[in-house]
Amino acid sequence: MAIASRKPAELATGAAFEYAPAPEASDHVKIASRYDLFIGGKSVRPHSKHRFATVNPATEEVLSEVAEADEVDVDRAVTAAASAFGSWAALPPARRARYLFRISRLMQERARELAVIETMDGGKPIKESRDVDVPLAAAHFFYYAGWADKLEWAFPNRRALPLGVAGQVIPWNFPLLMLAWKIAPALAAGNTVVLKPAETTPLTAMLFADICVQAELPPGVVNIVTGAGGTGALVTGHPNVRKVAFTGSTEVGKLIQRQVAGTGKRLTLELGGKAANIVFDDAPLDQAVEGIVNGIYFNQGHVCCAGSRLLVQESIMGPLLEKLKLRLATLRLGDPLDKNTDIGAINSRQQLQKIEGLVASGVAEGAEIYQPECRLPDRGYWFRPTLFTGVAQSHRIAREEIFGPVLAVLTFRTPDEAVEKANNTPYGLSAGVWTDKGSRILWMAERMRAGVVWANTYNRFDPSSPFGGYKESGFGREGGLQGLLPYVELS
Ligand code: NDP
């Protein structure tokens, strides 16, 4: 094979391969110059009269102007959801299922359009939005459509009643997928929703509004209010919202927890992470390297469950690091719409500055930085895939969520030490274990204080599999049967 015969230096400089551009066409996609709010099944001009721009982070071009919802707008959306609730909840469950199947089907039909817009608005490589985000989002609707008329089997001997209006606030790293994680179980259980997408990535939610119209979903069952954090706080704080679901930073999660305390609202929080990806000396190293790369460089590291701390058994540190550095040198950074791109644009200037600040702290605190040679485009927000060695557990890069393509490498000698170090974090969302021994996988999984533990793989998702955290990573589960629980009252 050509790759095996190339010298490492050739691979490292990229001289061995040239990729011809392979851009995904975007001329089939229509992005409106402005978007209103989606309330009661219609496009509604914002009472606030304010709008904000959403920008392509790979080019810094303005894609569209989006409405910024104020208190009156949010109240209209919650009122629309509340008045749709009675008849939606009373529909025969199989009819509700039919709407969800229809939405799933339409998402599949419009998959290319959704993927291109997701990539343009958020900066993620098209191969990820096309092969991961959009198919998984459609699969979520498909999966929960299946539960809608089987709630009595989901919760045997209990009656599962919907709660009312769900207020849902989502982040910018997986905009459409997080929308699906929130809306699909809520609707399946008979609730109605008001959803606020993130300020930097509202466009696929607006396209989803169009899909709701196309699916002839009854007006008011889904309402979408765009805006910044203030709009989010209006949604989560509205007195007629019965259930709050939030994915985002731990800092904002804590604010919301305080806001809803004592109101009787149900709350689920899916917050930050600082996951350990643990490689034992008997692991298949080439596979592990792929898992490490997927764990931290997928979606530019904008992943709450990213394997941002690599724990390597000391005896294999040398060979593993050598392989990892070679692999990093082959990652292609650039135009997110190019089908060959591995690393796209950083989602926003603000996030880029945060990454730069934390990386600078790593250097200042004495860790050793490695970045492969690669040219950054002239415009847009970019950050090279980065790894740090010589990292101490006290370093900020080992403790704080960077949410960027930055890996902190630490070592361990014994399984007990690996457990100790992996759990030495305020977070507890995910972990990865790489070893040849099945018994060790089980031993480790039992001891990890993490909601998800992947074994000899990483960042695998399935709608039937619950996802969520411990400690400062939040509480409640999304996905699977467990994902229905926060949306029902059991009697
Ligand atoms: P936020 O937690 O601020 O954003 C998540 C969502 O909450 C957005 O829709 C945001 O709106 C909204 N929001 C902000 N403030 C409030 C509030 N007081 N009440 C209700 N909703 C609110 O994350 P950021 O986008 O600011 O990112 C900051 C850091 O958070 C990142 O660097 C990363 O480390 C971490 N993060 C973690 C995520 C995860 O899944 N674990 C996801 C996103 C970020 P708006 O978009 O307008 O700010």
Tens of pLDDT, residues 62-94: 999 999 999 999 999 999 999 999 999 999 999
- Which pLDDT tens digit goes with each residue over 157-167? 999 999 999 99
Q: What CA–CA distance (Å, rounded) separates 218 from 155?
A: 27
Q: How confident is the model at residue 13 (pLDDT cuts 50, 70, 90)?
A: low
Q: Which of 468, 162, 433 minimizes the C-alpha distance to 304?
A: 468
What's phi and psi for 262, nearest 5 deg? 80, 0
What are the residue numbers of the active site? 270, 304
- Which pLDDT tens digit goes with each residue over 129-146? 999 999 999 999 999 999
Per-residue model confidence (pLDDT) at position 447: 98
Residues within a 6 A CB radius of ligand 1: 169-173, 196, 198-199, 228-229, 232-233, 236, 247-249, 252, 255-256, 271-272, 304, 351, 354, 401, 403
Q: How confident is the model at residue 7 (pLDDT cuts 50, 70, 90)?
A: very low
Residue to substitute in 133, 169, 174 for testing ligand 1 pocket (most ligand atoms within 8 angstroms of CB): 169
Q: Which of 245, 261, 249 minimizes the C-alpha distance to 476?
A: 245
Residues 6+ apart with CB under 8 A from 375: none
Q: What CA–CA distance (Å, rounded) separates 175 from 140?
A: 14
Q: What CA–CA distance (Å, rounded) separates 84 from 78?
A: 10
- Looking at ligand 1, which atom is closest to the CA of residue 402? 34
- Give me the sheet containing 368-370, strands edge to edge: 368-370, 386-389, 406-412, 309-313, 276-279, 430-434, 452-455
* pLDDT, the chain, mean: 96
- Give me the sheet containing 34-35, strands edge to edge: 34-35, 62-67, 51-55
Residues 6+ apart with CB under 8 A from 400: 274, 358
